[in-house]
Amino acid sequence: MAESVLPPPTKFNIEATDAYIEWKAWIESFNIYAVAVELEKKSYGVQTATMLHCLGPAVQRIFRTLPGKKESFKEAVEALEGYFAPRRNVVAERHKFRSRKQNADETIDAYLTSLRELEKRVNSGRSKKKC
């Protein structure tokens, strides 16, 4: 019943400058929609079909070509996440982290937040002591 009242999220903008950031925002919006329409109570096929319908034809074509298992809704989302996730150049990310200076008009809190964001890119999966 809620499906007919609540509009689905807007189509995914595959032409966005940073597709990964666009993906993260879109999937967050879709997850809110899925809870609101109780999509988790439906089968994997219905969940995945609903997501792909909301994403649009361009992403549907991409999804059909993705390798790996997609036997659950979670695996389908992970497959798309892997496709849109950027490939990071660790050396370049490390350089950005080490050369980041505080701007004259930047508060210490904003500077530390920026450093923490850069650190996540450098350390992805490693100990926080290494950098």
Alpha carbons within 13 angstroms on the beta-carbon side of residue 46 total 9
User: pLDDT tens, 31-61?
Assistant: 999 999 999 999 999 999 999 999 999 999 9
Helix, strand, coil share of the chain (percent; to 5): 65, 0, 35
What are the domain boundaries of the chain?
A: 19-87, 90-124
- Alpha carbon separation from 67 to 48, 62, 63, 78 (Å, rounded): 16, 10, 9, 11
User: pLDDT tens, 88-110?
Assistant: 677 887 898 899 999 999 999 99
DSSP 40: G
C-alpha 92/C-alpha 90 separation (Å) is 5
Please state the pTM of the whole predicted model: 0.65
